[in-house]
Amino acid sequence: MAEFTMPSLGADMDEGTLLEWLVGPGDLVHKGDPVAVVETAKSTIEVECFATGAMTKLLVEPGATVPVGTPLALIGPAEERRTVRHGPTKGKPSEPAEPSEPTEIPEPSERPSPQPEPVPVPVSPPSAARLPGHIEAGPLARRLAQQSGVDLEALHGSGPGGRVTRTDVEHAAAARSSTEPQRVRATPLARRLAAELGVDVATVTGTGRQSAVRASDVRRAAPGPSALSPPAPAAAAPARPSPVHPSAPGPSEDRTTAMRQAIAGLMSRANRDIPHYYLSTTVDMAAATNWLHEHNRRSPVGERLLPAALLLKAAALAAREVPELNGFWTDGHFTGGEGVHLGVAVSLRGGGLVAPALHDADALELPLLMAALKDLVTRARTGRLRGSEVSDATITVTNLGDQGVETVFGVIYPPQVALVGFGRVVDRPCAVDGLLGVRPAVTATLSADHRATNGAVGARYLTTVTRLLQNPEQL
């Protein structure tokens, strides 16, 4: 039995609020599946499961705020109960056989004897061993059939002895969905809330994964005051309404204040504990700009690129070539990152900042990187980030060019050891081959941790970024 705990979703997180469970007790989960929605001071994040198994017990109710490391649920083996085929296991209490894993039923003896002579039992065909009305199917196939509304008795099993397999159920569910309306996806909490509030989940637009209906969607769709907030717990005595001061902060203001406090605490710690050094260089973007114009001219609208894609890809490839800047400073030493997970600083509409990661950004082709960037920014601003996206960035990039800034020196996000900054691409006078001209250029900066590297390593990184941007065909 393993504990699923409140994860640390960033160096500035001490506690989190469990907003919603996306699974229920007994549900099978796989490593990487989102199982809960957690609210931090910065954002609302989908938390992924770290193991494969069955959700045995949920320990924390939605709405509770608990410290990082608090057990939220128990995860057991995928098959918690196993039926014994040849007698109970020694030293363990035997359990009654489940219909999903039936034991072989020997033929009854007509003349029972206290000490019968050992007579070989003939092997009966599987069909003869079945009880009336019983269907051979494992627990996974039965659960899938129940979830998808498939009648097991109507299936012809393709497994040994006519046993119904998972594939049989999936094929039947696919055939059924082509002729019947598909069951609405909704979390267990959303269905329970819908029943309490009288909301038909089929009429609610889901904002969860694969358009699943969440509890917040049901509350918004519910008529009356309950649409705005979850029902309040019953009190022992009616509470006297407290006067509301006209200048009292609302929920959004409280959230913004908490976010600013979290950012202030983290940046104060970074400036106090990390000995920063700063480098900058001016990169000639003429070759990159020409390549970008030609690429976009030949590409469909959906595959066109922004300059940000070239800058991010160059930063990721340079981190792969200079791995001393790609990783973490923990326990007094540097640990290299497993892959280049590029954190991208995203400003939120309500104020504040998050820096979710583009995983393996150095290996993404430019069109895929552009699509991943758009998706990441959209989900960051709508509160739909995943836990792994906010906790495992190995190096961060901040790009303020769209804000008109030409040079930015950032503060390192601990425990990372470097932050790359890009400004606006501007036309500047420069000398090329002895001739004075005007060419597009961008200022690239590096803020690095002097405990992990020195200026020579930082200079090598910026030189690599410059080389890649001046040879865009290498990106």
Q: In this model, does residue 9 exceed pLDDT 50? A: yes
In Å, what is the CA distance from 194 to each residue of 20, 64, 213?
Answer: 14, 21, 10
| Cα dihedral 375→381→382→383 (10° resolution) | 100
pLDDT at 259: 72
pLDDT tens readout for residues 156-187: 777 666 777 767 777 777 776 555 545 677 77
Q: What domains lie within the chain, and their CATH numbers?
A: 2-76 (2.40.50.100), 133-179 (4.10.320.10), 188-227 (4.10.320.10), 258-474 (3.30.559.10)
250: left (phi over 0), alpha (psi -120 to 50) or beta: beta
The label of the residue with tokens 């939605």 reads 62
Helix 366-381 / helix 307-321 crossing angle, nearest 10 deg: 100
| Cα dihedral 308→311→315→318 (10° resolution) | 150
76's CB contacts (< 8 A; 6+ apart) are 1, 2, 53, 54, 56
d(CA 244, CA 93): 61
Task: Among 16-30, 34-48, 161-175, 321-335, name the most confident range.
Answer: 321-335
d(CA 376, CA 387): 13
pLDDT tens readout for residues 400-450: 988 899 999 999 999 999 999 999 999 999 888 888 889 999 999 999 999
C-alpha 376: how far from chain center: 11
Q: Which long-range contacts (CB under 8 A, 24 or more apart) does 47-50 make?
A: 47/7, 47/9, 47/386, 47/387, 48/386, 48/387, 48/388, 49/4, 49/75, 50/4
The label of the residue with tokens 């990039």 reads 397
Query: Largest Cα–Cα distance of the chain, in whole Å?
Result: 112
The predicted model scores a pTM of 0.61
Tell which residue, 340, 311, 298, has the closest CA to residue 466: 311
Q: Return the number of other C-beta atoms located less than 10 Å from residue 82's C-beta.
A: 12
